Structure 1
């Protein structure tokens, strides 16, 4: 029996006032742990109310504790994945994660160059598990080809230092502004630095700072309480959340504040699915079934979210 496609006239029309969600194309690796990579990006982008367009750049073999190895996707295949959907769908933002290899970086940069007005949030992964030559080639390509197109570069403080100021020999770590200056010289407009250690208060409480900076100085940020638990996928979550908010038209400083707040709550509700690190719960806000809102607290039938269970407390290592 032949199956015929429906005529265009039979396709239901979307109401004019029912606009589709903003679309975010994410270039990242397949991560079987679901903590980061494309799985993490898709979860985060969906949680932020946007629609993910995932492009596979590599296959990473890892668990929730460590990365073992990766297998790159050919550059031409990466490009064709992106172009096939870009001819069909209008995107509102890019998110870049691990691109597999220097050749993969070049392929992604080729695609980005055709859409210079679309904001790009680039997350700089720690790629220390790559062979030394591959690691250097990857970082060189990332600096040369991705940073010139980047609106916001996101990364852990130490990862950014290693990539942007590898010869730093000061008695203190470089500030967020100094990292922004180094990134700005390579073309990036802003840097969102995570995991900046702060001295303990008189009460003994330790915290970490997360700062958005330009070459002119710090703009905004958020402090997190330091816990002893190690997290995996936190930086990816932050970058994907920020890209989603920029895609929706949010101003940068407000988008950063909201993305940091989202990450903080996702970490508080994080869970340990295996024997390794804690994974952020991007759907911490998902409402439990059967708990109706008290009268006057929300629309009829809306359910009320109780405080989510927090992960075993322990430092928030955003990596």
Structure 2
């Protein structure tokens, strides 16, 4: 059976990131995605120009209606946009005990442009992350969340503060290879990937959704993290450029 994955994230009208990326990645890996859209963005493959968040009452009605019908095998969280939406998601996750939750702490678009109008670090780490199994920030996001500089300091701080795992991706480094680090309370594990020649729109969304779908299939967290990265590498190798900005992963 296809695992049901609940995706809570924003909408990207350009089709490269956000809900589009989540649905495509989950479908490619044999899952089925239903969605709670936290906000509508104004963006393309080059930049974010604005966004409008969804009313909490509407999100609550949608969530209640979904939970009357579906059971879920995993949850993926992307753009939250506000402390109020973070609090809504935290309350919702209390109704889904024992289900793997993957948190991609989206604070800005890959191409540039903020996706929040307030500081979300404390709310995300203290109210949302404890309900999640793993966070998947890139290094700039991890630095914003922790106030630390190095990958190791960011990872250790995230694990100590949240009690949860953190996969910090190295896509924004200038190193010859991309190194992704998984930090848990039992230590650190790293993977190295060839740095591909382009800049990509939606790679972070794709990774978090891939991990969520694989967890929904019953893979262990360690295997889902490793396999999810391999799938994203494959998607990126087939990436195409639909506009004048970043390339979009071919999620299939």
Q: TM-score interval w.r.t. the shorter chain?
A: over 0.9
Deviations 1:211-252 (A, max 9, x none): 212133213x42122234111100110000000000111011
Give the distance between the partners of 2:53 and 2:122, measured in 1 at CA.
17
Q: Which has the higher contact order (CA 8 A, sep 6+)?
A: 2
Give the distance between the partners of 2:24 and 2:144, measured in 1 at CA.
29
Q: Does 1:255 align with 2:224?
A: yes
Deviations 1:281-310 (A, max 9, x none): 101xxxxxxxxxxxxxxxxxxxxxxxxxxx
Paired residue for 2:82, among 101, 104, 113? 101
The answer to whether the Cα contact below 8 Å between 1:76 and 1:107 also exists between their aligned partners in 2 is no
Give the distance between the partners of 2:118 and 2:177, measured in 1 at CA.
31
Partner in structure 1 of residue 32 of structure 2: 51
What SS does structure 1 have at the residue aligned with 2:33?
Answer: strand
Give the distance between the partners of 2:32 and 2:115, measured in 1 at CA.
35
The answer to whether the Cα contact below 8 Å between 1:119 and 1:150 also exists between their aligned partners in 2 is yes
Does the C-alpha gap of structure 1 residues 212 and 126 become closer, same or farther in structure 2, counting only changes over 3 Å? same
Give the distance between the partners of 1:156 and 1:97, measured in 2 at CA.
13
User: Following superposition, which runs of at least 4 residues in structure 1 exceed 6 angstroms of deviation?
Assistant: none
> How well do the aligned residues superpose, as a CA RMSD in angstroms?
1.8
Gaps of at least 5 residues in structure 1 are: 1-19, 200-205, 284-319
Q: Give the superposition deviation at 1:131.
A: 8.8
What SS does structure 2 have at the residue aligned with 1:56?
Answer: strand
Rg bigger for which structure?
1
Paired residue for 2:93, among 108, 112, 125? 112
Gaps of at least 5 residues in structure 2 are: none
The answer to whether the Cα contact below 8 Å between 1:151 and 1:188 also exists between their aligned partners in 2 is no
Give the distance between the partners of 1:174 and 1:69, measured in 2 at CA.
31
Could you state the TM-score of these two structures normalised by the residue count of structure 1? Answer: 0.73
Partner in structure 2 of residue 192 of structure 1: 167
The answer to whether the Cα contact below 8 Å between 2:38 and 2:80 also exists between their aligned partners in 1 is yes
Q: Give the superposition deviation at 1:126.
A: 2.9
Q: Does 1:37 align with 2:7?
A: no
